[in-house]
Amino acid sequence: MIPPDHPRYRSLVTREMLAESVRKGIVSMEGLTAHGRGEAFDYFIGERTTRSALYAERTAAALLLSARNPVISVNGNTAALAAREIAALQKACGAKVEVNLFHRTEERVNLIEDLLRNAGSDVFSGPAERLLPLSHDRAWCRREGMFSADVILVPLEDGDRAEALVTMGKTVIALDLNPLSRTSRSATLTIVDELTRALPNITRACRDLSGAEREELLSSLDNNYLLSEAIREMTMRLSHALE
């Protein structure tokens, strides 16, 4: 048992929960490594939502609300960490929720879909086809879902799928703690924030954005600016580290 007064309580409980999710077959072992990687980047932004990240989150809400066929892509880590937050966002923006996995088996897809449904999501399910221009299993998706989406939210993504989706002409919203990743650089909009902080902020913005603010956010979208702000935050923290 982790004592609740431990200074890293939240982080340790999350790790334990993810290890448990590996045992259940929801998270892949590779997902644990990816999580550790995210932890290090989160440390560099101070484990809080920065001002520029909040701006990105409100812009994400504007994009989702303006979409014709928005889709939220969910992998194992996202489902394990934030199934409830995904359900709340779906209610607020009306997006389809579709499972897409790098380490794909039918059994894992079913387990993750069940987890999402139990947390309140209406999961866009059914037979998938190999529709995305990718050599690995993230190519599998549904024709009426991800394949025909105009706006797609991809939390905890791998870089080549993000690139492929952009090449297909889609508006890609990435949720990635690493501002230097291929995903972050190729996405239309990148949110450099931790999943369970970012999703509720997007949901809140979906509920409270005025029409005028929506328009303004969409017209001022500048992903390079957002990435450079995230990097500036990290650089500042690092350069004061040995003081």
Among 7, 127, 169, 211, binds its own copies (CB under 8 A): 7
- Least Cα distance to 133 among 147, 115, 154 occurs for 147
Among 109, 119, 164, 231, binds its own copies (CB under 8 A): 231
The span from the CA of 137 to the CA of 46, in Å, is: 34
Q: Give least dist CB 178 to its own copies, A.
A: 7
The span from the CA of 106 to the CA of 231, in Å, is: 38
**Segment near its own copies (CB under 8 A), from 58-66, 108-116, 213-221, 232-240?**
232-240
How many residues line the site for its own copies (CB under 8 A)? 47
Q: Is the CB of 185 or the CB of 214 nearer to its own copies? A: 185
Task: Report 124-143 residues binding its own copies (CB under 8 A).
Answer: 135-136
The span from the CA of 157 to the CA of 218, in Å, is: 23
Q: Would you state the structure tokens that stand for residue 216, as one six-digit string?
A: 């303004």
Q: Give least dist CB 240 to its own copies, A.
A: 9
Q: Is the CB of 150 or the CB of 160 nearer to its own copies? A: 160
Residues 6+ apart with CB under 8 A from 165: 132, 152, 154, 172
Task: Report 13-52 residues binding its own copies (CB under 8 A).
Answer: 15-16, 18-19, 22, 28-30, 32-41, 43
Output 138-143 pairs: Cβ under 8 A, ≥24 positions apart.
138/100, 138/101, 138/102, 138/104, 140/100, 140/104, 141/98, 141/100, 142/98
Cβ 67 vs Cβ 203: under 8 Å: no
**Segment near its own copies (CB under 8 A), from 78-86, 108-116, 154-162, 194-202?**
154-162
> Binding residues for its own copies, per CB under 8 A?
1-3, 5-8, 12, 15-16, 18-19, 22, 28-30, 32-41, 43, 135-136, 158-160, 178-180, 182, 224, 227-228, 231-232, 234-235, 238-239, 241-242
